[in-house]
Amino acid sequence: MSLPAHLPPSWTLLSLRPRGQHAPLRRLATAAGGRLLALSPWAIVPRTTAADRQQLAAALACPQVLFTSPAAVQAANALLPLAGIDPPPAWLAVGEGSAHALRQAGLAQVQAPRQMDSEGLLALPALRDPRGQRIGMVSAPGGRGVIARTLQQRGAQVVLAEVYDRVPLRLRGRQRARLNRLPANSVLMLSSGKALEQLWAQLEPRQQQQLRQCTTIAASARLAQQARDLGFARVHQASSAMPADLFAAWQALALPGGG
């Protein structure tokens, strides 16, 4: 694919996806004439012990089970094949990425919100009044705490299964060097607040300022506000955290009259 005329001639896309998960954004950037700078804040490491399997089985025994990320789906399915759960619970996903992962695991009936974030999930009819219900939540340590807290405040019993860990990664010298010479037409794709926090804490003041000059495409209003609170000036919101939606939001900005 040749570079669309409305896109800048030299630009870099910054990805904060976990290690090994940059390929979709890299393909989009390359096809549009850009380069990708992978700034993984952590690696995803699935849990595999008998205790982890027992914890997951307890969550999957609930009438409703929600997944907070595609990584949670994949790690859970490796521990206990989800398509074999009988009777099957109502499967809930925080967004289309998690819903797609559940379908790939063989589950046809999946509920996901139109607004693909914690707030959207909590607005689903199945979770609006869960008083007295047991709800399984499959996640990672520190993941989507607002969901569990809100469900508990609404009277639900949350049965948590943590099926993977985020192992922090340190920035390498080559990554720092590229941050120091970012092109003016750079764009940060932001789909995780914790990922931004992990990266931000490693940056020198000069590098933080470099990052603030980027156009930032946030996957939700909450993430957009987080970026603004850090001093990012050019912040725009995409329709979801899916790579194609993040990229489409930036392309729309690059069109004449798009802002």
The residue ranges of every structural domain in the chain are 12-41+169-254, 45-166
Among the CATH numbers 3.40.640.10, 3.40.220.10, 3.20.20.150, 3.40.50.10090, which is that of 12-41+169-254?
3.40.50.10090
- Predicted local distance difference test score (pLDDT) of residue 3: 40
- 12-41+169-254 and 45-166: same fold? yes
Distance separating alpha carbons of residues 82 and 74, to the nearest angstrom: 10
User: What would the two tokens of residue 28 be?
Assistant: 């989009």
Contact (Cβ atoms closer than 8 angstroms) between residue 94 and residue 115: no
- Cβ count near 171 (within 10 Å): 15
- Predicted local distance difference test score (pLDDT) of residue 5: 43
Dihedral sign of CA atoms 132, 127, 18, 211 in order: negative
- Predicted local distance difference test score (pLDDT) of residue 9: 55
Among the CATH numbers 3.30.499.10, 3.40.50.10090, 3.30.428.10, 3.40.47.10, which is that of 45-166?
3.40.50.10090
User: What is the residue-level pLDDT of the chain in tens, covering all 259 positions?
Assistant: 344 444 455 789 999 999 999 999 999 999 988 999 999 999 999 999 999 999 999 999 999 999 999 999 999 999 999 999 999 999 999 988 899 999 999 998 999 888 777 888 898 888 999 999 999 999 998 766 789 999 999 999 999 999 999 999 999 999 999 998 888 789 999 998 999 999 999 999 999 999 999 999 998 888 999 999 999 999 999 988 889 999 999 988 865 445 5
- Predicted local distance difference test score (pLDDT) of residue 258: 53
Extended strands (E) in the chain: 12-15, 35-38, 42-46, 64-67, 90-93, 110-111, 134-139, 157-162, 164-168, 186-190, 215-218, 235-237
- Predicted local distance difference test score (pLDDT) of residue 4: 45
Distance separating alpha carbons of residues 88 and 82, to the nearest angstrom: 9
* Amino acid at the residue 132: G
User: Residue written as tokens 């399915």?
Assistant: 77
